[in-house]
Amino acid sequence: MKLLFKQRLFSWFDSYDIYDENGNTVYIVKGQLSWGHCLKIFDGSGRELGTVQERVFTLLPKFELYLGGTYVGCISKEFTLFTPRYHIDCNGWQVQGDFFEWNYRILGASGQEIAAVSKQFLNWTDTYVIDVCNSQDALCALMFVLAMDAEKCSRKD
């Protein structure tokens, strides 16, 4: 299952539209006014599915993941000198990526690929392709991409 992750060009808060291979809207992500990033994920009909919430007042960025209102894990940036690394406390997953964090893979506990993420260039806004191996993992994979994109955004500010 491929998802196209596109940031909206004109938006006060972080807002994204997530499309399937056929151009149908699968998810809508809306940023909320809060301390740190707070991204609410909705399905195409407007039903809230999940939240990515940045924890504030931490040494390194940390994002909590919620499906519905239930906490399912977190992603935190690890201290490294050259290659960015993230610790994922959710499903036993881990992230492996390149130096610029534009192309990376989400791997399961036994090393199997959950999703591959690649950034598309020459677009007006951030655009990623998320190739998810099992459609049941699509929402969690999207939450990881949102958290890592928000962390990169925070670093630029």
Task: Identify whether 152 is part of a domain.
Answer: yes
Owning domain of residue 31: 2-73+115-156
Confidence of residue 124 (pLDDT cuts 50, 70, 90): low
Indicate the pTM of the whole model. Answer: 0.84
Domain total in the chain: 1
Q: Which helix (H) or strand (E) holds 4?
A: strand 2-7
Give the integer Cα–Cα distance in Å for 124 and 102.
Answer: 16
Residue 26 has pLDDT above 60, yes or no: yes
| CB-CB neighbours of 4 under 10 Å | 16
pLDDT (tens digit per residue) in 34-77: 667 899 999 989 999 999 998 877 777 889 999 988 999 998 87
pLDDT grade, residue 31 (50/70/90)? confident
Smallest Cα–Cα separation from 27: which of 138, 120, 147, 151? 138
